[in-house]
Every structure is written in C-alpha cells, then in structure tokens.
Structure 1
Amino acid sequence: MPLHDESGRVALLGGGFSTDTDGVLDDWVLGLARRPRPKVCFVPTASGDAEGYAERFLGAFAGRECEPSVLRLFRREADDASLRAFLLEQDVVYVGGGNTANLLAVWRVHGVDRLLVEAYERGTLLCGISAGANCWARGSHTDSFGPLAFLPDGLGLLPGSVCPHYDSEPGRRPSYRRAVASGALPAGWALDDGAGALFTDGVVTRTVAREVGAHLYRVEPDGRGGVTETVVLP
C-alpha cells in the first residue's frame, strides 16, 4: 500500500551537481520530495563507487535543506535487513552516472533492484543522471559496452526506453533513432543535457529546463522504417 498519494515517481535528469554549477536541477529534485527536509541517498554504483563522485555529492548537498547520505555497494557494510531499512527510509534516491550494465548487475547481486522497486511503490522519488536515468526503464541507449549500443534491460519502472545526452554526445541521436526504428529498443524518451522530466506511474507529468533549447523528446517508430520525434516542451 503506498504511503502517500505521490507514489510511483521517477525523475530523469540531464544534469545536476556533477555537471552544472547553478544547482537548478538538484533544487528541482528536492522540491519534488515528500517532506521539507528530505533524506537524499546518492548511489554511485555505476561509477564503481568512485570516492570523488560521492564527495562531490556530499559537498553539493551539505548546504541544502536535506539529509544527504551515500550508499556504497563495493564496500558494503550493512546486512540485508539494515540495507532494506536504510533504503526504505529515504525520500529521494539519486543515482549517478557511469556504466548502466554494471550498475544493474551489481544491484541484482545485492538485491538493491528489488528494494528500489519497493521504495518506489512506497513513495520514494527515484532519480538520476545518465546511467542513473537509464536504469529505471525497460531498456536504454548506452555506452556500457564501449561503442553506443542498446541495452534491452532495466528495472522497468518506466515503460519503454531512455536515451540520455541526446544533444551533447556525437552519435547519440541517430543511434537511438535507429534502435527504436528497428525495434531493438521500444519507443521511449530522449533527454537533452539541461532538461529534467518527472514521471508519475510511468506517465510524464512535469518537464523543466535549466537553459533555453533543452528538451525531452518522445521517440516512436513510424511504421515505415523510421521514427517520429515529438518535443515535450518544458
């Protein structure tokens, strides 16, 4: 049973403390939390728990109205019961960038995938950038294997697929469009750097941008071997 009326929420971020200096998207995330001083847990699994990444998060969020923490799985100390209790008490789980395929594999070994689904159903806001955006969907566009490729894997909390860095990394746009057109990935959402999108129960409910021209796009096969690309205006 959901604990409040804002269960089932995922936010895709095209930026944040790791890429931006103004903190606009991070402030937006905190404003979506279910309480004024939320507990915010950063999960840097996709980067191999890079210590510098965790320190940047703690530095960026220490001065905000929140209680920041970091979940490290490569040096895990909590037992299963403690890990579950810790994740379920978070108001926001913020997943960092890195390798999407490795992220999913490590989460499954530790049972974090199941715990995040439980947290989602209980009202925790799940969010992230790059790999931390990819992981919530059924599939994603990723460089986890070196060259840009499709990954038909994810937690499935968002129907369809996700492609980050749509406007900023060479080859992203045409490669993702080909994957959707061919059916290698289901129809989905492409996010420019600088944009953010909130999904409630799998449906986009808010979009924002920290700069002019940053958008969320709906990308779907057109039935003729190509795709249609629709801008969802912030």
Structure 2
Amino acid sequence: MKRIEKMDTHIIAMGGGGFSMEPDNLLIDEYILAQTGKDRPKICFLPTASGDADGYIERFMRSFETLSCIPTYLSLYKPPRSLESFVMEQDIIYVGGGNTKNLLALWKEWGLDAILYRAWKKGIVLAGLSAGSICWFEEGLTDSFPDKISPITCLGFLRGSHCPHYDGEEARRPAFHHYLKAGTLKEGIAADDGVALHYINGKLENIISSRINTSAYSLILKDGQVREERLNPQFLG
C-alpha cells in the first residue's frame, strides 16, 4: 500500500440544505468546492443512504454541472473495479441523506468506511448532509428506525455526538436533550437546516449558513441538566 502523505483534514457536516434541499441556493455547495483550492475539483456523490436513488443522483449531477467542478457518483450497486482507486482520485466526497443505519452497514460490508478514513487523512474533503453529516461523528441521532428518532454509533472521525435538522424537524431537539440527559449520547453539536460545520484536523474551525436566522448549538450536560449554547454562523449570502 502506498504511503499516505499527511495533510490537513476537512469534514463539512451539514445540518441540512445544499442542492438536495435548496436547489436554487447552492451557497454551501460552492463553499465545499472552494475548500480544495482547485479551479475544477473532482467531486463524488455517495447516495448510499438513499439506496442509490436515481432521482437523487440526477439532482446532484444537474446541480453540480452548473458549478465549476467535475461531478461524478459512486454506486455500491454498480461499483467500480477498485473502490479505493476511485475514491482516492476525488477531491471531495459528498454524502447524501437517507437511512444512516443502512449507510453504515453497507459501507462496512464493502470496506468503504476504512477507505474513506484513508481518503480523509490524505486530505480529500469529506462533506454531507443529514445521514451524510451524522456519519462522521462518534454518535448521532437518526430516524433510520420506524417512527422514532434514536441514537446510533457512527464512524468516529469526529468526537462527540451530532444532530442535524435541528430546526427543521420538531422531534429532533427534545430527543437530543432526552438522550443527553439520560447519558445515552455523548455531549455534542446540533445544526439547523442550512447550517454547516467545518472541521479542520478534527477541530471545529468555521460555521457557515446559506439561510438567515439559523444556528448551530453546542450541547453539554452540567449538574444533570442539558445546557445549550447558540453558535452563530457566518451567512454566505
């Protein structure tokens, strides 16, 4: 195996938004592309959590073909001859939303979780929304299970827990508070729709937003109570 050169690592975790939720507002997607420093970066969509839904892939390709980049996608139902070679050729891996539990199970079965870790360490930008945001943390809140929002153990590239769609889905905030107070989830961070958390070398360095009046939130447990601190993002508009 070739030696992986140490570079800055980037993960951009979106509470929601981007091309799949805001097709006429690609501010966060443009921000993600800009982190490579390249005029036309290669960006690969991973639609695993949606079951590689054709419509989702088409929306990604249609949106990113309007931007300065070279878009493609990776389907585990029709994989390339070498998953690792394909992934390592990219500048950005962009993970879509859907069922987080299924995403993690399929990635593990194909060894894609380990490939993505090596890609991250190589300096390839990892990004995504919803399931594609939760997956990078140690733990998260998912609606993968029928009729409930539940904790899930994730990849652990980033420390702590994460909850997306904090303002977009009514049940998210009380569920996050409940599981933190119960000790079921580690302390963590939540993000509204349209808000993205940019981690560099594992540390939260920037919070951005494609919408006004949105936020991220740091949640800790103190004296048996959940303390929620609002973190104001930089509006990109």
Cα deviation for residue 34 of structure 1 reads: 4.0
8 Å Cα contact 2:19/2:63 also seen in 1? yes
- For residues 63-212 of structure 1, what are the structure 2 equivalents within 5 Å? 63-76=66-79, 78-79=80-81, 82-212=82-212
**Partners in 1 of 2:11 and 2:4 — Cα distance?**
15
Does residue 16 (structure 1) correspond to residue 18 (structure 2)? The answer is: yes
Counterpart amino acid of residue 11 in structure 2? V
Query: Number of paired residues?
Result: 229
Q: 1:127-183 CA deviation, whole Å, 9 max, x = no partner?
A: 101000010001110100023333341110110111000001011101011111211
Counterpart amino acid of residue 59 in structure 1? R
Does residue 36 (structure 1) correspond to residue 61 (structure 2)? The answer is: no
SS in 2 for 1:74: coil
Counterpart amino acid of residue 144 in structure 2? S
Q: 1:169-214 CA deviation, whole Å, 9 max, x = no partner?
A: 0111010111112111111110100111101122110111112211
Does residue 49 (structure 1) correspond to residue 48 (structure 2)? The answer is: no
Give the aligned partner of residue 218 of structure 1.
Answer: 218
Cα deviation for residue 90 of structure 1 reads: 1.0
Coordinate RMSD, CA, aligned: 1.4
Query: CA, structure 1 residues 4+25, in 2 after alignment: closer, same or farther (shift >3 Å)?
Result: same
Counterpart amino acid of residue 135 in structure 1? C
8 Å Cα contact 2:142/2:152 also seen in 1? no
Structure 1, unaligned runs of 5 or more: none
Structure 2, unaligned runs of 5 or more: none
Counterpart amino acid of residue 109 in structure 1? E
Counterpart amino acid of residue 175 in structure 1? A
Instruction: Name which of structure 1's ranges 143-152 and 101-110 shifts more when overlaid on structure 2.
Output: 143-152
Query: CA, structure 1 residues 111+34, in 2 after alignment: closer, same or farther (shift >3 Å)?
Result: farther
Normalising by structure 1, we get a TM-score of 0.94
**Partners in 1 of 2:115 and 2:33 — Cα distance?**
21
Cα deviation for residue 4 of structure 1 reads: 6.2
8 Å Cα contact 1:139/1:150 also seen in 2? no
8 Å Cα contact 1:150/1:184 also seen in 2? no
Query: CA, structure 1 residues 158+60, in 2 after alignment: closer, same or farther (shift >3 Å)?
Result: same
**Partners in 1 of 2:28 and 2:182 — Cα distance?**
33
Instruction: Name which of structure 1's ranges 130-139 and 30-39 shifts more when overlaid on structure 2.
Output: 30-39
